């Protein structure tokens, strides 16, 4: 009996475990291995270089700059998305009618591909010529056309990047918040009203937010990881046939060019990937500890 159970266990789990090992763990370990070799144009290098790739990567201004840029980006996009999607959720949650309609409307962008959204933003809304949508609107107020993605001073490209990301992401996190909001016991609000708490800020601050604690922790965690893994919309907005400009360059985009572009420096690229993975791991673990991931709403 026991033997049969084991057999069935492996029959069901085996294929997935095998797939996971083959397509995730082996490449992962292989990449860690590569990071200790001089691996130009080969995945089976022979020239062991120890930690050279790591020191080279950490001394590489372009890589360190991209890490710094992304700390700043994270510090901005995480609170912005948080506030924006929470506001949407609160608004939709208060609706008496057509709630399902607005929920769907705000969620729809999440179903749009990053690539498609990036191209729409780049080519029709924020293109630099006078007939782009944003420039047409500017023109009504007598403004000069702005080359949104090409201007570095002021860095207008952030406006494009942040708006496309907000548009794509806010709906998804709104759904998470809505689920959280709907689990809050209405009795709490009634009790607060009886105790004289004015609806609005006081209720939000003392009832809604604490009750949303578990959802918030999960949302912030996901947002931070997403921010560090940014690639799609950056690549599609800013890269051209000749490469990627030296600003707003996410670490992953830089590594993509190092390891997989014509450079094919797979050792150096792997070292960068390991460094990035370590940073994400440290940040995530630290954040989970600090915010108390896994505690339930009731504990909060």
Partner 1 sequence: MTMSRRGLLVAGAGAAGAGLLAGCGSDTGRGGGGAKGAELSQWYHQYGEAGTEQAVQRYAAAYKKARVRVQWRPGNYDQQTAAALLTDSGPDVFEVNGPTLDQIQGGQVVDLTDLLKGVEDDFNPAVLAPKTYDGRIWGIPQVIDMQMLYYRRSLLKDAGVEPPATLDALVDAAKKLTTSKVKGLFLGNDGGAGVLGGTPLYAAGLQLVTEDGKVGFDDPAAARTLAKLHQLYADKSLLLGAPADWSDPSAFVQGLTAMQWSGLWALPQVRKELGDDFGVLPFPKDGGQGKPSVPVGAYGAAVSARGGHQEAAKEFVKWLWVERTDFQEDFALSYGFHIPARISLAKKAAGLRSGAAADAVRFTTDHGYAQPLLWTPASQTAYQDALSRIIRGGAGPEGELRAVVRKVTGELDRVKHAKKPS
Using rule CB under 8 A, residue 205 touches partner 1: no
Using rule CB under 8 A, residue 296 touches partner 1: no
Tell me whether residue 128 or residue 300 sits nearer to partner 1 (CB atom): 128
Cβ atoms of 56 and 268 within 8 Å: the answer is yes
List the x/- string, 110-129, binding to partner 1 by CB under 8 A.
-------------x--xxxx
Q: How far is the CB of 10 from partner 1 (least distance, A)?
A: 24
Residue 205 in tokens: 């601050």
The rounded distance, in Å, linking the Cα atoms of 184 and 175 is 15
Query: What count of other Cβ atoms lies within 10 Å of the Cβ of residue 85?
Result: 24
Give the bridge partners for 243, in sequence order.
240
The rounded distance, in Å, linking the Cα atoms of 216 and 290 is 13
Using rule CB under 8 A, residue 241 touches partner 1: yes
Using rule CB under 8 A, residue 138 touches partner 1: no
Distances in Å between the alpha carbon of 109 and those of 104, 113, 159? 9, 8, 18
Q: How far is the CB of 149 from partner 1 (least distance, A)?
A: 6
The number of residues making up the chain comes to 300
- Going by C-alpha positions, the residue among 264, 229, 245, 91 that lies closest to residue 157 is 245
Tell me whether residue 208 or residue 265 sits nearer to partner 1 (CB atom): 265
Among 37, 70, 173, 177, binds partner 1 (CB under 8 A): 37
Residue 53 in tokens: 């790739």
List the x/- string, 149-188, binding to partner 1 by CB under 8 A.
xxxxx-----------------------------------
The rounded distance, in Å, linking the Cα atoms of 268 and 258 is 7
Q: What is the DSSP string of 22-75?
A: IIIIHHHHHHHHHTTB--BS-SS---B-TTHHHHHHHH-HHHHHHHHHHHHHHH
The rounded distance, in Å, linking the Cα atoms of 30 and 43 is 9
Q: How far is the CB of 259 from partner 1 (least distance, A)?
A: 10
Among 15, 79, 261, 294, binds partner 1 (CB under 8 A): 261
Question: Could you tell me how many residues of this chain bind partner 1 (CB under 8 A)?
Answer: 47
Among 18, 62, 100, 209, binds partner 1 (CB under 8 A): 62
Query: What count of other Cβ atoms lies within 10 Å of the Cβ of residue 92?
Result: 22
Among 2, 3, 61, 198, binds partner 1 (CB under 8 A): 61
Among 2, 4, 11, 44, binds partner 1 (CB under 8 A): 44
Among 17, 21, 22, 29, binds partner 1 (CB under 8 A): 29
Positions that interact with partner 1 (CB under 8 A)? 26, 29-34, 36-37, 40-46, 61-62, 123, 126-130, 132, 147-153, 240-243, 245-247, 257-258, 260-265
């Amino acid at each position: 009996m026991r033997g049969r159970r084991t057999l069935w266990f492996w029959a069901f789990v085996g294929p997935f475990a095998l797939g996971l090992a083959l397509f995730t763990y082996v490449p992962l370990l292989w990449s860690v291995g590569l990071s200790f070799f001089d691996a130009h144009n080969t995945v089976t290098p022979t020239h062991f270089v120890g930690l050279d790739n790591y020191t080279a990567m950490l001394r590489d201004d372009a890589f360190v700059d991209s890490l710094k840029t992304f700390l700043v980006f994270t510090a901005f996009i995480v609170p912005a998305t948080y506030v924006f999607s929470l506001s949407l959720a609160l608004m939709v949650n208060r609706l008496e009618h057509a709630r399902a309609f607005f929920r769907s409307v705000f969620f729809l962008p999440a179903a749009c591909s990053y690539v498609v959204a990036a191209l729409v933003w780049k080519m029709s809304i924020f293109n630099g010529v006078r007939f782009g949508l944003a420039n047409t609107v500017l023109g009504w107020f007598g403004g000069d056309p702005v080359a949104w993605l090409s201007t570095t001073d002021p860095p207008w490209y952030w406006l494009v990047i942040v708006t496309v990301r907000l548009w794509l992401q806010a709906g998804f996190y709104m759904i998470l918040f809505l689920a959280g909001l709907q689990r809050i016991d209405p009795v709490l609000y009634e009790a607060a009203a009886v105790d004289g708490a004015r609806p609005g800020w006081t209720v939000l601050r003392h009832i809604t937010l604490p009750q949303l604690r578990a959802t918030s922790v999960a949302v912030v965690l996901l947002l931070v990881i997403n921010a560090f893994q940014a690639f799609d919309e950056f690549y599609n907005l800013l890269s051209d046939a000749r490469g990627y400009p030296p600003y707003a360059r996410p670490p992953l985009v830089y590594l993509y060019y190092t390891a997989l572009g014509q450079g094919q420096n797979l050792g150096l690229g792997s070292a960068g990937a390991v460094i990035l993975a370590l940073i994400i791991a440290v940040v995530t673990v630290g954040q989970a500890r600090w915010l108390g991931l896994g505690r339930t709403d009731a504990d909060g």
